[in-house]
Amino acid sequence: MSPFELGPGVKTGLKINYRNPAEVGADRIANAVAAVEQFPGKNLIIIDFGTATTFDVITKDKVYQGGTILPGLQISMEALEQKAAKLPPVEIVKRDKAVGRSTIGSIQSGLYFGQMGMVKELIKGITQESFPEEEPVVVATGGFPNLYRNDNLFHMIVP
């Protein structure tokens, strides 16, 4: 059996409301198709915590509205390490306090709470823009959503 290749022109059941639908990455379409299948009839925000942290916005009528792309946690840490003269690489971990008491702790707090702040603000903004009448289901996936498992950011984490 040949592998299935998701790409432009493949019928997914979604209407892609993007200026150029071919620009939407296959990973983002795959997330949208899976979420629509798992949560039929729901407005959705899908957050993928990968290399980039991406947000995908899908209406309950299966219309892919677009989304947001920002640097992921790992890229953010690597940028600090590579571009700042004296900042070391750190393990990306959940922090209990926003104020770090060491360089490593400060970087970890900045990464953890900074990403959380961006995620909260984007969920709020997307909801106000796209779903003012009905709260969307927020689904997280990717490599880092478990850091935020107990922070009430999403309704569900799907590996």
Q: Could you give the residue numbers annotated as active site?
A: 27
The answer to whether residues 64 and 54 touch, using CB atoms and an 8 Å cutoff, is no
Residue with tokens 């990968």: 50
Does residue 47 come out as left (phi exceeding 0), alpha (psi in the -120 to 50 range) or beta? beta
H helix or E strand, kind and range, residue 13: none
Region for 13 from its dihedrals, namely left if φ exceeds 0, alpha if ψ lies in -120 to 50, beta otherwise: left
